Amino acid sequence: MEPKVAIVSGGSRGLGQAIVSALLGAGYRVATFSRSKTDIIRQWEQDQNLSEQFLFRTVDATDRTGLRAYIKDVHDRMGRIDVLVNNVGLAHDGVLALYSDTYLDKVIDVNLKSLIVLTRACVRIMLMARSGRIVSISSILALRGYNGLTVYSASKAAIDGFTRSLAREIGPRNITVNAIAPGYLRTEMTHGLDEAQTRQIVRRTPLGRLGEPCDVVPLVPFLCSDEARFITGQTFVVDGGLTC
């Protein structure tokens, strides 16, 4: 059977890197992009065992034309698109009254608009194939607010609504749409937290620690698998119990 093809946005570091690694390990052919290469991307590109299994392109998530061209390139080269993992994200904190238009546009463009553009392009291919899996990375901040992250929270809450509506829209074509809402993970996205904030989060988390990418990643291959074929329109919280 021909390997399935998965696209992972923002797969060069953090949670995205871990998702790419897991899907490669599960036998998928994986295409990913980010604004720049990292050491792990260079390593995967130089690995002869992955020469037919891995594809990276430098793409800015805010470039709609570039995103559409990227999807076409992946489809032309790999012949199919079975899975889309919307992972790329940008967090910028600041109280709303002082929040700049520049960062307002940037957070919404990266976290929401790029996701919609990517998903629309992939859905057109999946509809013709009458099959597909879409998984988007949301956040517990879509469910529970946090000071200084109103715009980020809004962008993630929009992903949850998008997931539910799209699941109804394309479910009849055997395409599932789900989201994963991680808690606070020990990645670049939480490096801005000071020690007091980190201690407070850990204290309020029943499992008593920040999450790691490996706590979230196993859910992605499952939601992309045949075993999850009757699961759609859901947001799965992975937060160590913080929101329970």
Burial bucket for residue 40 (CB in 10 Å: 0-12, 13-18, 19+): middle
SS3 30: strand
| Rounded Cα gap, residues 129 and 127, in angstroms | 5
Q: Which of 28, 70, 146, 152 is catalytic?
A: 152
The answer to whether residue 70 is catalytic is: no
For residue 81, which phi and psi values (nearest 5 degrees)?
-140, 110
CA angle 110, 112, 116 (to 5 degrees): 110
**DSSP notation for 98-130:** G--HHHHHHHHIIIIIHHHHHHHHHHHHHHHHT
- Give the containing element (helix H, strand E) for 97: none
Hey, which residues are catalytic here? Answer: 152
